[in-house]
Copies of this chain bind each other. A is one copy, B any other.
């Protein structure tokens, strides 16, 4: 019997019984005690179960996903720092809009608030959100092939039904005179509406976005609170005169 097979069976048994003892597994799997012990060690290291004297038990928090959990221990990239900061702004019970895009995607794994309602137009956002047992609404609309963003009139219409405690947006350009911009007009329309519908609006923009202008305007600078990792004090103070900027530390 293959190692992977045994692991699968062990986890399945655990799911059913909450607790399994070694001898039980030895019989069930026709393997030696040593092998079973090794299996349990490995599975414990992978955070799939908890070893207890005489056997193994189900994890108390069943919801942790290794792929997401692993990353949170590694060094955080610039975008991740921003995402983490933004995620911590979310409070229990909030209704939030989460824009499509990679930066907002990163936020998901750092969300700790309970009892959330999330609305998103990011197709890829859905899976990790559901994995965290967060109640999630997906906007309808035309599916933009490459990015997995739902856009267009339908998306705008379905968005209009909501009001948010907090809106989190990604943008491509942040500029003193041209405000917040993004290349795709369809996406801009959606972001623009989301901006209106949020009581508090946060824009996640790393330092590469400043002084940049792209095709379509989403809104003015002071429509949102900008979260960034921009270090240059000149740039920061320049923009501080026009809007609220929160600079995250690593």
**A interface residues, Cβ below 8 angstroms from B:** 2-5, 8, 18-19, 21, 52-55, 57, 123, 126, 130, 135-143, 145, 150, 152, 154-155, 157-158, 161
Check if A158 sits within 8 Å of B140, measured CB to CB.
yes
Could you tell me the dominant secondary structure of chain A's interface residues? mixed
- Report 12 cross-chain contacts, Cβ distance below 8 Å, ordered by A residue: A2-B19, A2-B54, A2-B55, A3-B54, A8-B19, A126-B143, A136-B143, A137-B141, A137-B142, A138-B150, A139-B140, A154-B161
Q: How far is the CA of A189 from the CA of B20 in the complex (A)?
A: 43
Check if A53 sits within 8 Å of B140, measured CB to CB.
no
A4's partner among B8, B57, B136, B140 (CB-CB below 8 A) is B57
Check if B137 sits within 8 Å of A138, measured CB to CB.
no
Q: How far is the CA of A130 from the CA of B126 in the complex (A)?
A: 17
Q: Given A8-B18, A126-B123, A154-B161, A3–B145 Cβ distance below 8 Å? A: no
A3: nearest chain-B partner, CB-CB = B53
Check if A140 sits within 8 Å of B155, measured CB to CB.
yes
| Distance of A5 from chain B, by nearest CB (Å) | 5
A161: nearest chain-B partner, CB-CB = B154
Check if B155 sits within 8 Å of A53, measured CB to CB.
no
